[in-house]
């Protein structure tokens, strides 16, 4: 099979961790050797003079052809209209991608066009697939459905792409139901769980991990007391504010926020206002090489997002033997199946504090926690995606779970 896959969220030379979970998936597919994969990761660049500002200046300098961990990637540039142009991105992406892929298709035809997110990738890939006369597949991951599905102009494009698609995937059964509720055909939607880098994310004895991250100058995490870790971009949707408010009800605990983003300043102000500033640490971006150690060192991982499909970091935390506290969103109940995995808690400071207190009172063993994700791996993930593509090309029914 020759697969043309489009992913706006994908690692690049300027942002090597950007969409790393998609990069991991596609590298596993390429490594298997039975798929001829062409990855296209369109990069949005605003008009001049915004294009000269950081980080757009560096992104604009990325060559059209590149490589990420041995995987060849094409990086066409499309015109990005910041803040107000999101709904119209698919058309501009398709316009940037088509000249490149038409030439490649004429040299050696593709069999299928694939999109790794439902918006803007899905509608853009739908245009490309129509122009090339090829079948289309689209994967949804959470925010692409929950956020863009609330915007009428984006939703209309998503619905049109869904009805054009020969097959679609969701990262959880719950997300599939959300897609159906938006008017997408259930019979064409399968479930494709995320993968896991098992060599990187596995239990390290908590005391040893804690000693290590407390000794690292670039981390310097507290060595004593219960440790809560909240990984993810510092944006309102991730709910770090709720964790800080919960911390005020957990007098002995410390909180490490692993991520960066626009919400950092108000979060720091909130911590000071609540009198917990000395117990909240802003780690900034934590690379994939250090993140497993941080997760292993934590007594609890708390992530009270407003929406998720099935977050990769849920699986990575559990793989490290760290119980999780998450809301009843997306595939939460497909992951937290009993109390050894953690707790499902309402998005309130009181409920989060109670769930954390519960776990700290009677903590499960790291082995029991990590057993919950024994079925996850990037190898299995890649194998299931390839089977899905083969079924689509063979005209076979989409299975309920992949």
Q: What are phi and psi of 192, to 5 degrees?
A: -130, 100
33 DSSP 8-state letter? S
pLDDT computed for residue 398 by the predictor: 81
d(CA 121, CA 193): 19
Contact status, residue 145 vs residue 156, Cβ threshold 8 Å:
no
d(CA 209, CA 255): 16
Q: Which residues contact 17 (CB under 8 A, 6 or more apart)?
A: 11, 285, 287, 288
Contact status, residue 270 vs residue 341, Cβ threshold 8 Å:
no
Contact status, residue 157 vs residue 144, Cβ threshold 8 Å:
no
41 DSSP 8-state letter? -
Domains of the chain: 2-195+377-394 (3.40.50.2000), 206-373 (3.40.50.2000)
pLDDT computed for residue 341 by the predictor: 98
What residues are paired with 189 via a beta bridge? Answer: 168
- H/E run at residue 369: helix 366-370
Distance from the Cα of residue 156 to its chain's centroid: 24
What residues are paired with 66 via a beta bridge? Answer: 73
Q: Give the closest residue to 248 by CA, choosing from 361, 353, 91.
A: 353
Q: Which two tokens stand for residue 5?
A: 């896959």
pLDDT computed for residue 151 by the predictor: 95
Q: Which two tokens stand for residue 234?
A: 């510092």
End-to-end CA distance of the chain: 19
Contact status, residue 226 vs residue 360, Cβ threshold 8 Å:
yes
pLDDT computed for residue 399 by the predictor: 66
d(CA 258, CA 189): 34
Q: Give the closest residue to 303 by CA, choosing from 227, 226, 194, 230.
A: 230
What residues are paired with 4 via a beta bridge? Answer: 38, 113
Strands 71-74 and 36-40: parallel
Q: How open is the CA angle 76-80-84, to the nearest 5 degrees?
A: 155
What residues are paired with 258 via a beta bridge? Answer: 231, 284
Q: Is 338 exposed, middle or buried (0-12, 13-18, 19+ CB in 10 A)?
A: exposed
Burial 305-324 (b: 16+ CB within 10 A, else e): bbbbbbbbbbbbbbbbbbbb
State if pTM tops 0.85.
yes
What residues are paired with 166 via a beta bridge? Answer: none
pLDDT tens digits for the chain (402 residues)?
999 999 999 999 999 888 999 999 999 999 988 899 999 999 999 999 989 988 899 999 999 999 987 899 999 999 999 888 899 999 999 999 999 999 999 999 999 999 999 999 999 999 999 999 999 999 999 989 999 999 999 999 999 999 999 999 999 999 999 999 999 999 999 999 999 999 999 999 999 999 999 999 889 999 999 999 999 999 999 999 999 999 999 999 999 999 999 999 999 999 999 999 999 999 999 988 899 999 999 999 999 999 999 999 999 999 999 999 999 999 999 999 999 999 999 999 999 999 999 999 999 999 999 999 999 999 999 999 999 999 999 998 786 555
Q: What are phi and psi of 198, to 5 degrees?
A: -70, -25
């Amino acid at each position: 099979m020759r697969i043309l896959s489009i992913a706006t969220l994908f690692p690049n030379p300027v942002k090597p961790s950007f969409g790393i979970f998609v990069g991991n998936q596609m590298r596993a597919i390429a490594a298997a050797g039975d798929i001829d994969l062409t990855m296209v990761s369109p990069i949005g660049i605003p008009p001049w003079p915004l294009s000269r500002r950081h980080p757009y200046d560096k992104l604009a300098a990325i060559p059209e052809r590149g490589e990420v961990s041995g995987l060849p990637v094409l990086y066409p540039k499309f015109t990005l209209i910041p803040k107000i142009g999101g709904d119209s991105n698919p058309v501009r992406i398709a316009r940037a991608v088509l000249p490149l892929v038409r030439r490649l298709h004429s040299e050696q035809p593709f069999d299928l066009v694939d999109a790794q997110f439902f918006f803007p990738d899905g509608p853009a890939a739908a245009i490309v697939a129509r122009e090339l006369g090829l079948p289309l597949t689209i994967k949804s991951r959470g925010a692409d459905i929950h956020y863009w599905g609330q915007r009428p102009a984006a939703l209309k494009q998503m619905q049109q792409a869904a009805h054009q698609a020969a097959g679609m995937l969701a990262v959880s059964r719950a997300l599939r139901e959300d897609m159906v509720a938006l008017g997408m055909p259930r019979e064409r939607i399968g479930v494709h769980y995320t993968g896991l880098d098992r060599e990187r994310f596995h239990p390290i004895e908590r005391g040893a991990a804690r000693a290590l991250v407390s000794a690292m100058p670039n981390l310097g995490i507290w060595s004593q007391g219960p440790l809560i870790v909240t990984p993810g971009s510092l944006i309102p949707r991730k709910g770090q504010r709720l964790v800080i408010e919960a911390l005020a009800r957990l007098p002995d605990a410390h909180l490490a926020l692993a991520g960066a983003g626009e919400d950092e300043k108000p979060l720091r102000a909130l911590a000071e206002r609540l009198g917990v500033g000395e117990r909240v640490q802003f780690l900034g971006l934590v690379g994939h090489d250090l993140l497993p150690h941080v997760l292993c060192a934590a007594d609890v991982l708390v992530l009270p997002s407003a929406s998720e499909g099935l977050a990769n970091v849920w699986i990575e935390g559990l793989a490290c033997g760290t119980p999780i506290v998450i809301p009843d969103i997306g595939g939460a109940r497909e992951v937290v199946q009993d109390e050894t995995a953690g707790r499902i808690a309402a998005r309130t400071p009181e409920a989060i504090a109670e769930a954390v207190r519960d776990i700290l009172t009677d903590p499960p063993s790291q082995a029991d926690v990590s057993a919950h994700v024994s079925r996850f791996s990037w190898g299995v993930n890649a194998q299931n995606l390839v089977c899905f593509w083969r079924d689509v090309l063979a005209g076979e029914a989409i299975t309920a779970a992949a």
